[in-house]
Amino acid sequence: MKYSQATDYALHAMLYLVAEAPDKPVSVQLLAEKLGVSQTYLSKMLTKLVKAGLIHSVSGANGGYKLKRNQDDISFLDVIQAIEGTTSLFECSFHHDSACLIQQVVADAEQQMMHTLKNKKIADLVPHIPKP
Amino acid sequence: MKYSQATDYALHAMLYLVAEAPDKPVSVQLLAEKLGVSQTYLSKMLTKLVKAGLIHSVSGANGGYKLKRNQDDISFLDVIQAIEGTTSLFECSFHHDSACLIQQVVADAEQQMMHTLKNKKIADLVPHIPKP
DNA sequence: TCATTCGTAGACTTATCGTATCTATAATAT
DNA sequence: ATATTATAGATACGATAAGTCTACGAATGA
């Protein structure tokens, strides 16, 4: 059980946008080059981030992606859920009379993790990134 | 990203053992019947639980599985890790100079979930199970 | 207006992993 | 001995992740 590599890409791409390019749009080409992944695959992640309302896309020459919201509002949870979806970690496949006790426990634990990921913003990491 | 159904089976099987059969061994056949899943598949989960030291197996006639440890010691985390393994939820695939900041954040959040799952014991649910 | 740049969408492979079954084997009670 | 029960391994199938390719649409700038 693991987060997909796509989430890894998305988080690193977002961190780059927040840290290096708060204003002007960055092309997939540049972003992919910086991260060392293929453009075509990375663009899928970025499109998901657009649909989730985290970033904004600009078509045409000198286009690319830039942040949409205030960068201080973008949490780890936002990015992760944009890629992974919002279905819960655990779903009981049995039919109980009432709600599954086991599911409640795991869901509660998951909530705690989500709470932490929601409070942690991408921008929180920026001060710790060594400047080139 | 989800816990596998195998984990679902294992948790329910453990709950059954803790709640209904603290002493005498229960066969896969009975367990599978109670849960409504196939014997052959369920036995794989149980074998993993044996290897993890959570339950004990008895071969031969009137054999089966029974709890090994004190039932109050068996946590949700024990069962989940027995099935899913212990690799962390997120692993950065990039090469950074120092440790990946993103990974640290996610790992920290995961730790919180694990902490909750470790403190919650299977036996905690027993009082809430309606007796037949 | 026209070519170039750039994001979007969908079809399409390929690989990996979860799910599940079957069979043979080893251990134990009666 | 024989029936019963767990264990291990091989195998098959399907779903999902990972990745590529191509055609399309939107915007810029000459």
In this predicted structure, the answer to whether residue A105 has a pLDDT above a threshold of 90 is: yes
Residue A107 and residue B13: Cα distance in Å, rounded? 19
Q: Which residue gives the smallest C-alpha to C1' distance to D3?
A: B61
Cβ–Cβ < 8 Å for B39, B32: yes
* CB contact set of A68 (below 8 Å; sequence gap of 6+): A53, A54, A55, A56
Cβ distance of A2 and B93 shorter than 8 Å? no
Round to whole Å and give the CA distance between A29 and A15: 16
Nearest by CB: A105 against B76, B87, B93? B76
Mean of per-residue pLDDT scores for chain A: 94
In single-letter form, the type of residue at position B73 comes to D
- Look at residue A124 in the predicted model and tell me its pLDDT: 96
- The half-sphere exposure of A80 on its side-chain side, counting CA atoms within 13 A, is 26
CB B113 within 8 A of CB A115: no
Average pLDDT over residues A69-97: 93
Alpha carbon distance B121, B91 (integer Å): 28
Query: Which nucleotide lies nearest residue B61, CA to C1'?
Result: D4
Nearest CB to A109; choose among B12, B35, B116: B116
pLDDT in the model for residue B85: 96
Q: Identify, with chain letter, the residue nearest to nucleotide D17 (CA–C1').
A: A4
Q: Residue A14 has what pLDDT? A: 97
Please identify which residue in the block is written with the tokens 């692993």.
B91
Nucleotides of D under 7 A from a protein CB: 3-9, 17-22, 25-29
Banded model confidence at residue A131, pLDDT cuts 50, 70, 90: low
The string of pLDDT tens digits covering residues B74-84 is: 999 999 999 99
**Residue showing tokens 């709890």:** B67
Give the H or E element holding residue A44.
Answer: helix A39-51
**Domains located in chain A, CATH noted:** 5-128 (1.10.10.10)
Is a pLDDT exceeding 90 seen at residue B66?
yes
Cβ contact B116–A93 (<8 Å): no
* DSSP per-residue codes, B62-124: T-EEEE-S-GGG-BHHHHHHHHH-S--S----S--SS--HHHHHHHHHHHHHHHHHHH-BGGG
pLDDT band at A22 (very low <50, low <70, confident <90, very high): confident
Asked whether the predicted pLDDT for residue B131 surpasses 60, the reply is no
Query: Measured between CB atoms, does B106 come within 8 Å of chain A?
Result: yes
Query: Residue A54 in contact with residue A12, Cβ under 8 Å?
Result: no
Which residue has the least CA–C1' distance to nucleotide C27?
B59
| Within A 5-44, residues with CB less than 7 Å from strand C | 25-29, 40, 43
- For chain B, give the percent of residues with pLDDT over 70: 98
A5 touches chain B (CB under 8 A): yes
> Tokens 């078509």 identify what position?
A59
